[in-house]
Structure 1
C-alpha cells in the first residue's frame, strides 16, 4: 500500500477526506473493490454488489452536504444474515436464500448516513458457531496467520475490516460472534446493548438474545457507526429506547472487575494467560483500580445458553428446513440445533428462573465496579484443529462470551497484544446495558496505549482525538422524569443546547413518586442511606446561563438539589418537597420514570 492510502483507512479519515475533497466517495468505493480483487479470497463475501452500481451511488453523494452525512462515502460490508435490498440473504445456506424486498432498519440507517453497501459476507451457517468454518461458501483465510480460524460466526465481516477491504462492517452477536472474530483479526468489536440497534430484517439465531454488532479499526469509528444505527424501531418488538451518550475523557477514578485468582481458564495456553496479565497491568498504569469478583456465576450462565432452552430458539429458525431438506444444513449446525426440538416448557421455565437469580448476582458484581475486563477468548485454534474437534473447541472459544447477552450486558472487544507466535490476543470490557459509551470512553484509551497496529496490514493507529468532554464552565444536571430523552419536556433541555452525557443511576437512597401534574411528572425524595432504591436517570450538561434559565422555570413542588449517584459522584438534579408526596403514588419499585410510563401505557 502506498503512503496516501495509510492516512485514509479509518472511517474518520475517509469521511474527513471526502469533506475536504482530497478523495471522493467514488474513488474510495473503487479502491475497496480493487482491494477485494487483490485479496483473492472468494470465501470472504458470499455476494458482491455490482461495482458500477456502487460507484454510481457514491458519485451521487456529491449532490448532498457531506457535513450532514456522518458516514459520507464509507464502504460497508454486511454479514449475510442481515437484509440489504438488491442482494440475496442466505445465512450461509443456499437452500434458505431469499431476496429481500427492502432494507433492514440497520442498513436503511447506514444508507441515510451516506454509507455505501459493498456486499454480503460469509458466516458460520445460521450464525451458529464462533469459528468461521461452518459454511458451504468456504473458509475465509485469517489475514494475520493463515492457519488460524477466522473466528465466527461473523467471519467475513471481521476479515473484510482487518484486511482493509472496508473500514466498517456489520456482524451479529448472540453468543460472541461480534467479539471472538474481532480478537482473531486484531480489530475492534462493539457488541451493543440489546435493543439499542433494531434487529428488524435480521435472520434470527436466538431472537431474545440477538443483536447487530459493529467491526472497525478503532473504537471511535465503532461509536460513529453506533450513533447512526442506534434508536428505537416500531418494526422490532425487541427494540428498546436507550439514550446513547457520547464519548468522554478517561475517568479520574475507575474500578474494573477481574476474576478471583485461579478462576480464569486458558486451556493450557500460557501465552494468552501472560497477555491477559499484561493487559491488567496496562489498565493499572492507566489509573484503573482492579477489584476481584466471583466469575463462577457467569460461567454457570454461559452453560445455560447451549445446555438450556435457548437452543430451541435456534431450532425454530430452521425447523422447516430440517424437516424438508436436512442435508442442506451443515452437519455440525444440524447436530446442535436439532437438540432444541426436545426441550420441554417445564425445562424452559426452570432455566428462566435460574437465569433471573444469576442476573441478580451479576448486578451485585457491577455495584462494585464500572466494568469487568476478561479475555475475549481463552486461546486460539487452527482450522485443522477445529475441523478435527468442531464442537468442543468452538465451545472453548465462547468461554467468556456466551453469558453476556443472557445477562443483558454490553461489550467492547479490544486488541490487547500480538503474541510471540504471531497470534492476536484481545480483551473485552463488559458492563450493564446502557453503558456502551462508557465502555468506549475507557476502551479507546486502552487501545491507544497498546500502540498496536490496526488490522492486519501493519498500519499505525491514528492519533487519539480529544473527546468532547464537559467544558469547565458547563454544569451537569441529573433528570429523572419528563425531561428524559424522548419524554414530554426533553425539548426544554435541547432548546437550551444541553448535551446528554450518560445514563446512570442514583445511590439506593431515594424513593420515586408519581405526582398529580400536567404533564405527568415524578418526584424523587431522598431517604435514609440504603433505605430506598437506585433510580435510573440521565446526566445532561449545560452552560451556567442556560442552567440559570432552566432552574428559574422549575415549578413547585420540584426544586434543584444535590443528587448522589451510585458510583459516589454528586450532581445537581430534581428533588421534590416532602409535603407533596402525602397523596402521591410510590413508584420506586419501577426503578425509574421511563419504566413506570411504559407500564402505564400498557394499562
Structure 2
C-alpha cells in the first residue's frame, strides 16, 4: 500500500513527513473525528520510517504494512496526519538529537521540548493533532508531556503492541500516547491495546477496573533533586498539596532501589540491548549516526553475554527490593522532569543534562510499572511543570482516573493552545465509581451555607428522613457558620432527629471529610428504618454547656425558630 506524502518544512521540525491528505480506513468508530500523528520510528505503510536517520530509511526500506497500533487506531476511526521528529533512534530525553533539527518547546522556543518523542508531544500541545503516538523506553512518553503541558500515558509493558516499531530496547519498549486531556488519551489506549502474537513482548494483562480508594497513599521520594531549579521544586511542593486535596496522604519512600535500577539502563550491560536493536544497520553505517547517539550505541558492543546476564540479575534483585514499597503506598508521585533546560545549554552538555531529565523516569519500564504524566502548573517563568503518577503493572486506567481528577483540579489551559479545560468525562474500563451514603444534620443540609461542599463533589440527595430515637441535638457555641452537634445517648434519653441522606462518590469522600472541623467527626449513624450510614457526630465533651435543641426535632426547625424570634 502506497501513501502520497510530502515533507512540510513550513510546519517546522516537529514534523518529518506530513501526508498530502489524512489517512483513514473507517468512517466511524470510537475515535472518529480525531486526528493523530505517529513518531517516525513507528511504521506507516508507504511512508519511509526514518527513526530520525535518513540513511536508516533507505537501509530498512519503506514498510508495506502499518504498525499494529497504527492499524488499530485507523480501524477505530482516527485520521493519521503524518510522522513526527524524534531524538535519533529514540535515544535521548531532550528533543535536540535529530538531523532534522531540534524541536523547540511549545511554550518557549529557547527551551527543549523533551524527547525522544519530541515532535509527537509538540504537535499535540500546539493543537495540530488531537493525539499522537510516541514511544517510551526511559521516559520518552512522559518527559515531553511534562515539558509541554499535555498528558502522556506510558502503558504497562506489552499492553499495546510494538510490532512495526523500530526497537530501542525491545524488552522494555512501550508505545505511548499524548493528548491534551486524559479522557482522550484513555480512549486511545482502549482502542490501541490488545494482545498481538506477532510482538514477542505482547502480553494478556488483567487490568484494574475500580478507582483507587477515596483515601489513598502516595509515595514521595525521601530525597528529591531539582538540580538547582527552585521553581520546579516549588511546583512539586504545590503538586503534593493538590494531591492531598484529592484525598491522598503522602508517604516518604526510599528512592534508592529505584535510582539504582534507573542507572542500569545506560550504565550497565543493559545498554547492549540498544546496540542489538539496530546492530545490522549500525555496524554498516556507524558514521551516519549523530553524536551522542553513536557513542551510546557503540558502548553496547563492549559487553559480553555474561555481563548482560549479570545486569539482568542485578535488576531483578532491585525489583524485589522495590516491590516492598507497594506495601505502604497505592501510587508513587514524582516530578515528570526535575527541571527545564534551554536548547543552547543542552547542546553544550548533552549527556549530563539529558541524564538529569530522566531522574524520575528511567526505572519505570525496567521495573514493569505503568505511569501517566499530567500537567500540574505553569511556573512563574511561564514554563509548564508536570507530575507523573506511577502504579503497578495493570493499573493503567486507575492511574488515568486519578490523573484526570488531578488535571481538572488544576484548571490549566490545554497544552499551548490557551483553550479552557472541558468538562470531565467518564473513562473507559473503569466501572461506576463506588459511592458512600452520608447523613447530614446541620450546615450541610440542602439550602444551608455549606451544602456547596457536597454539590461540588458530585453528591446527590437521596432522602429526607430521621435518625433512630437514640440522639440529642445541641447548638454548638462559637461555630461559623453555626453548626449543631449530634450526640448518641442511652435509650430513653434520645429522640429522632431530622436528617438528609446524600450519596457521594467515594473518590471525593476523603476530601470532604478533611473539611470537617473538631469537635465534629464522622461515625456510624442509625436511621429510623434501622439501617446504618456514615454521619456527623459530636464529641460528648463539646456539648457541655451547649444549648440542647432536641425539642425542635432538627437543625432546620431550630434555625427557623431563631429567624422568627422578634429582635
TM-score range, shorter chain: 0.7 to 0.9
1:323: how far off?
A: 2.8
Deviations 1:519-562 (A, max 9, x none): xxxxxxxxxxxxxxxxxxxxxxxxxxxxxxxxxxxxxxxxxxxx
CA distance in 2, matches of 1:131, 1:82: 19
SS of the residue corresponding to residue 431 of structure 1 reads strand
> Residue 115 of structure 2 is aligned with which of 152, 158, 165?
152
CA distance in 2, matches of 1:149, 1:254: 34
> Residue 259 of structure 1 is aligned with which of 211, 218, 221?
221
Superposed CA RMSD: 2.0
Q: Are the counterparts in 1 of residues 40 and 83 from structure 2 also a CA contact under 8 Å?
A: yes
TM-score of the pair, normalised by structure 1: 0.68
SS of the residue corresponding to residue 134 of structure 1 reads coil
The verdict on how the C-alpha distance between 1:464 and 1:321 changes in structure 2, with shifts beyond 3 A counting, is same
SS of the residue corresponding to residue 49 of structure 1 reads strand
CA distance in 1, matches of 2:40, 2:147: 20
1:288 paired with 2:251, answer no
CA distance in 2, matches of 1:473, 1:204: 44
CA distance in 2, matches of 1:179, 1:465: 22
Q: Are the counterparts in 2 of residues 41 and 141 from structure 1 also a CA contact under 8 Å?
A: no
Q: Are the counterparts in 2 of residues 250 and 445 from structure 1 also a CA contact under 8 Å?
A: no
SS of the residue corresponding to residue 331 of structure 1 reads coil
Q: Which residue does 2:271 correspond to in 1?
A: 311
> Residue 219 of structure 1 is aligned with which of 173, 182, 193?
182
Q: Which residue does 1:324 correspond to in 2?
A: 284
CA distance in 2, matches of 1:472, 1:443: 18
Q: Are the counterparts in 1 of residues 212 and 330 from structure 2 also a CA contact under 8 Å?
A: no
Deviations 1:40-73 (A, max 9, x none): 433111111122x64xx48x72xxxx4xx10013
1:392: how far off?
A: 0.6
> Residue 16 of structure 2 is aligned with which of 28, 46, 61?
46
Aligned counterparts, 1:155-304, within 5 A: 155-246=118-209, 251-260=213-222, 263-304=223-264
Q: Which residue does 2:383 correspond to in 1?
A: 423
> Residue 104 of structure 1 is aligned with which of 67, 70, 86?
67
Q: Which residue does 2:432 correspond to in 1?
A: 470
Aligned length: 426
1:319: how far off?
A: 2.7
CA distance in 1, matches of 2:94, 2:383: 15
Q: Which residue does 2:100 correspond to in 1?
A: 137
CA distance in 1, matches of 2:433, 2:93: 43
CA distance in 2, matches of 1:146, 1:392: 21
The verdict on how the C-alpha distance between 1:44 and 1:175 changes in structure 2, with shifts beyond 3 A counting, is same
CA distance in 1, matches of 2:129, 2:398: 26
CA distance in 1, matches of 2:76, 2:396: 21
1:310: how far off?
A: 1.9
Q: Which residue does 1:127 correspond to in 2?
A: 90
1:422: how far off?
A: 1.3
Deviations 1:76-129 (A, max 9, x none): 100000111121111011111031011111011001101111101000000000
Q: Which residue does 1:438 correspond to in 2?
A: 398
CA distance in 2, matches of 1:109, 1:202: 14
Q: Which residue does 2:309 correspond to in 1?
A: 349
TM-score of the pair, normalised by structure 2: 0.73
The verdict on how the C-alpha distance between 1:285 and 1:109 changes in structure 2, with shifts beyond 3 A counting, is same
CA distance in 2, matches of 1:331, 1:363: 36
Q: Which residue does 1:410 correspond to in 2?
A: 370
CA distance in 2, matches of 1:404, 1:250: 20
Q: Are the counterparts in 1 of residues 369 and 393 from structure 2 also a CA contact under 8 Å?
A: yes
CA distance in 2, matches of 1:466, 1:175: 30
Q: Are the counterparts in 1 of residues 211 and 433 from structure 2 also a CA contact under 8 Å?
A: no
- Greater C-alpha radius of gyration: 2
SS of the residue corresponding to residue 119 of structure 1 reads strand
Q: Are the counterparts in 2 of residues 49 and 118 from structure 1 also a CA contact under 8 Å?
A: yes
1:445: how far off?
A: 0.4
1:466: how far off?
A: 4.7
Q: Are the counterparts in 2 of residues 41 and 140 from structure 1 also a CA contact under 8 Å?
A: no
- Moved segments of 4+, more than 4 Å: 466-469, 471-474
The verdict on how the C-alpha distance between 1:369 and 1:83 changes in structure 2, with shifts beyond 3 A counting, is same
Any unmatched runs of 5+ in structure 1?
1-32, 475-603
1:473: how far off?
A: 11
1:251: how far off?
A: 3.1
The verdict on how the C-alpha distance between 1:297 and 1:166 changes in structure 2, with shifts beyond 3 A counting, is same
Q: Which residue does 1:385 correspond to in 2?
A: 345
Any unmatched runs of 5+ in structure 2?
1-5, 437-567
Deviations 1:394-437 (A, max 9, x none): 01101100111110011100111111111111110111111101
1:325: how far off?
A: 2.3
